[in-house]
């Protein structure tokens, strides 16, 4: 048999080696060094010694699993969730919160230093409650034919298999307490085999459930859901396909939340920030950094339904929000009218297309806020520079694209004044942040 040599194929040493972790990455993996190579080890904390086995080996680094832990860090804590290590939702419940946030802030600082050459502190950190912070969660639904029962839960780590969730301590308590009765309700439906997913959302005016069903629901199933809705005081919405959201009861009030004194009504399918506590602090920090004045004209890019736009509008001459999702723009416009804010305009535009041809681009603004998706804001950075605003606040869910986009402002003469790490998703590897840029040097 002919054998072909592949230069990219590297054998993995399956032997057991002993290491001591000296650091932690943003994903909660221990970092150790062995024979000049960096090794990432899931579940190992700094200063812990362990016997490990490599699971993946590259030229510059390797990944490994713990075979036997030989010592415990004082930062190791007992996870609150019985599904930890099986459920893929949280990766760091075994790590003390203090170490989690310190590590993420350090990762952010190192990345900015490496990409921009600027040494800056990501403190003070915008903190979250340790548990009970998620006001939104989507759970998969899957009928197990052999066991003749429904599975409801999150995906296992690196698989498509569902973990049947009975408790989830990172959810808001009002949602977690619905898990078991909701499961029993859904498992009793005649169409149990044809359910897609279920989403739980906590609005300021109460919890709601969105049920994705693949077949039409029979009258008996709708009655079962109605009884559940009444018993647990939950608004239920039915999603027959991705565009046919219908309230189970016609008299259900629309969900809403408040931020900085503004009321935002939203559709259950609209994007809202998962962590309300951090969202409140984040919006307050952004408004403080912008130093809003009655004569300001402020541009909010990737504005969503106006989470920042509308609070800004309460303090300035005029605000413009630009967003690529039409439904969110419609929600923003409705909420501007609801809050009697007549100084706001929303535009539905693709911010990756020809920016200079869009109607908002011809207007003048002296301050800018942007909150892009993970891909960042490469398509708008040059136009922001062209606007020459006094201040720019960049809210980011990806520190890599934040660092990349920062270079455009820095090369145009802007100063990076301040950075914050936002603990939006405790116990996970998600790293959220925000940065303030000024056309003039500032002392915060």
**CB proximity list for 38: less than 8 A, separation 6 or greater:** 31, 32, 60, 61, 62
Binding-site sequence positions: 81, 87, 90, 168, 273, 302, 307, 323, 350, 371
Among candidate residues 185, 278, 397, 434, the one labeled active-site is 397
Residue with tokens 């759970």: 139
Binding-site sequence positions for S-adenosyl-L-methionine: 273, 302, 307, 323, 350, 371
Find the DSSP H helices in 339-432.
378-387, 399-411
Q: Is 397 annotated as catalytic?
A: yes
Binding-site sequence positions for [4Fe-4S] cluster: 81, 87, 90, 168
* Measured distance CA(217)–CA(188) in Å, rounded: 13
Exposed/middle/buried for residue 135 (C-beta within 10 Å: 0-12, 13-18, 19+): buried
- Helix, strand, or coil (residue 318): strand
**CB proximity list for 14: less than 8 A, separation 6 or greater:** 53, 54
Question: Cα-Cα-Cα-Cα dihedral of 401, 404, 408, 410, to 10°?
Answer: 110
Q: Tell whether omega for the bond before 124 is within 30 degrees of 0, i.e. cis.
A: yes
Provide the b/e sequence for 273-290 (b: ≥16 CB within 10 Å): bbbbbbbbbbbebbbebb
Catalytic residues: 397
């Amino acid at each position: 048999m002919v054998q072909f040599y592949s230069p990219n194929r590297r054998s993995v040493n399956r032997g057991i080696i002993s290491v001591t972790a000296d650091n932690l990455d943003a994903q909660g993996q221990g970092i150790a060094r062995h024979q000049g190579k960096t090794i990432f080890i899931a579940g190992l904390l700094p200063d812990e010694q362990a016997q490990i086995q490599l699971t993946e080996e590259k030229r510059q680094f390797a990944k490994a699993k713990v075979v036997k832990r030989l010592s415990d860090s004082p930062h190791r804590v007992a996870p609150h969730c019985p599904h930890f290590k099986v459920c893929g939702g949280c990766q760091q419940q075994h790590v003390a919160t203090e170490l989690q946030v310190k590590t993420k802030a350090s990762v952010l600082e190192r990345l900015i230093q490496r990409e921009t050459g600027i040494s800056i502190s990501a403190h003070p950190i915008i903190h979250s409650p340790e548990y009970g912070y998620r006001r939104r969660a989507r759970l998969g639904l899957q009928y197990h034919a052999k066991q003749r029962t429904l599975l409801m839960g999150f995906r296992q780590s690196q698989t498509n298999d569902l973990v049947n969730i009975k408790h989830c301590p990172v959810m808001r308590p009002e949602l977690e307490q619905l898990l078991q009765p909701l499961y029993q309700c859904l498992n009793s439906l005649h169409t149990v085999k044809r359910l897609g997913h279920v989403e739980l959302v906590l609005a300021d005016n109460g919890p709601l459930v969105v049920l994705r069903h693949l077949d039409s629901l029979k009258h008996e199933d709708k009655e079962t859901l109605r009884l559940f809705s009444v018993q647990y005081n939950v608004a239920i919405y039915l999603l027959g396909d991705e565009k046919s959201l219908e309230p189970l009861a016609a008299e259900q009030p629309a969900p809403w939340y408040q931020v900085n004194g503004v009321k935002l009504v939203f559709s259950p399918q609209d994007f809202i920030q998962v962590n309300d506590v951090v969202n409140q602090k984040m919006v307050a920090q952004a408004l403080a950094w912008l130093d809003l004045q009655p004569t300001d004209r402020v541009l909010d890019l990737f504005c969503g339904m106006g989470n920042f736009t509308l609070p800004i509008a309460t303090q300035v001459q005029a605000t413009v929000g630009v967003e690529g999702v039409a439904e969110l723009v419609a929600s923003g416009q409705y909420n501007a009218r609801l809050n009697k804010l007549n100084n706001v305009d929303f535009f539905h535009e693709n911010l990756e297309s020809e920016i200079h041809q869009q109607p908002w681009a011809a207007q003048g603004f002296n301050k800018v806020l942007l909150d892009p998706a993970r891909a960042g804001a490469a398509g708008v950075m040059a136009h922001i520079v062209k606007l020459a605003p006094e201040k720019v606040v960049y809210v980011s869910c990806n520190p890599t694209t934040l660092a990349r986009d920062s270079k455009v402002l820095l090369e145009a003469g802007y100063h990076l004044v301040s950075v914050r790490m936002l603990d939006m998703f405790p116990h996970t590897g998600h790293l959220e942040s925000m940065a303030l840029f000024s056309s003039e040097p500032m002392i915060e």
